[in-house]
Structure 1
């Protein structure tokens, strides 16, 4: 295999592992010049395998879609138990925002089974499809541009739409939770939508499985301390538990039956 092809495979593997890789770090890892890495990234971007950001790269649409489908298939049981626990903390006849992601889709399925009379505002066409079968629900889907990878609706119009409402709850997820408590995602447009949901809800719930703790992503959504409760399937490490306690955030652990 030509050295360039081998290098491309290693670059993709490193970006996939770390979610975002700076050019300088890739150059050190592969023992080549930053100029070589820039040329490699440009070619991989042309093939839609990577997406370039200032100073580095993330996965491109083709690999991101592949990874999203793989991620969605992982930890299904854990996400279902997290979703059940969240549904127990949403009363009947409540109004709520539901964002994007496989955990939030699981929340939608749990709500349909457990709760009546809900008003749900979502930027997730999959969530809208799940909850729209309930005749006692009011389901509102935001305006905006649909992302083909996950059915998320994003954009300036989405934020403007959300700002018209004030709900009882916002139920959100995140792509990663940094050690300092920062909530991270890959798409700044989606982050803007989730921030609007946070600002326009009286109670904020975060649902994240254990794999999200310590996972990197490029865009900061906010802090875990801005939520009223965090729902997960394993207790976070001691430092994170202390951070949550100091911020007055409840950490609720779903019983996964193990």
Structure 2
């Protein structure tokens, strides 16, 4: 039987290779009980070497916190602009699209070069402010309760307006992408509005930099069955990309 030090090293090695570990898999690989593995994970967490999750552990803290849009805009700014530029290439002449909130979808707004007329409905004030400068783009701003940290609106009024429209594409920003829990945001009301946006859109495209993967926000938006495509950067681990593609989600790396 392997020693406790050897078990701990194996756990850390697996985490470094795969980003997360599962209790059941570790039990089978090391031929020990789940009680033993859970004790190992707790000891390693106490040392600051991992974060325990439901049924396993991960290298990074899976829970994200709410930050202001000004703070988030400075994080992964180059990657976000590349993601936004790739998303802008998906627009068609005379498109009608829906843009949710977030700094990565703001990068999309900055990259849009319309081919013909374009109609954009958005919950984000900063997206509207960016697009209002373009005479060829018709902008419809959703109304509702203003969420200051994200510079966007939420609530039943915004949701009721959406019922009158149909969109070819929704460009959605998220705070967390977890292979088990799905897509999340830090605000429950925003999560609910995002679900309504998905319902009225023919195609949902998530724009998220690699720091959003392996994280969970407080409010769950949806599972991957509701997502058609994710555009992200090359920082996403290969095993995550393969898992997403196996679930039928197209992944575009910029």
TM-score computed with the length of structure 1 as normaliser? 0.70
Which residues of structure 2 form unaligned runs of 5+? 1-41, 47-62
Q: Which has the larger radius of gyration?
A: 2
Q: Where does residue 222 of structure 1 map in the other structure?
A: 222
**CA distance in 1: counterparts of 2:73 and 2:168, whole angstroms:** 28
Q: Where does residue 100 of structure 1 map in the other structure?
A: 101
| 1:116/1:146 CA distance change after superposition, 3 Å | farther
User: 1:168 deviation in Å?
Assistant: 0.6
Cα-to-partner distance string for 1:211-254 (whole Å, 9 max, x where unaligned): 00012211111123421111001263344223322232211111
User: 1:115 deviation in Å?
Assistant: 4.2
Q: Where does residue 35 of structure 2 map in the other structure?
A: none
CA contact (8 A) 1:181 1:243 kept: no
Q: Runs of at least 4 residues of structure 1 off by over 3 A?
A: 57-60, 113-116
The 3-state SS of whatever aligns with 2:252 is strand
Root mean square deviation of aligned Cα = 2.2
**CA distance in 1: counterparts of 2:114 and 2:136, whole angstroms:** 13
The 3-state SS of whatever aligns with 1:100 is coil
Instruction: Please tell me whether residue 180 in structure 1 is matched to residue 180 in structure 2.
Output: yes
The 3-state SS of whatever aligns with 2:73 is helix
**CA distance in 2: counterparts of 1:241 and 1:149, whole angstroms:** 30
Q: How many pairs were matched up?
A: 195
Q: Where does residue 92 of structure 2 map in the other structure?
A: 91
Q: Where does residue 83 of structure 2 map in the other structure?
A: 82
TM-score computed with the length of structure 2 as normaliser? 0.71
**CA distance in 2: counterparts of 1:130 and 1:146, whole angstroms:** 18
CA contact (8 A) 2:183 2:216 kept: no
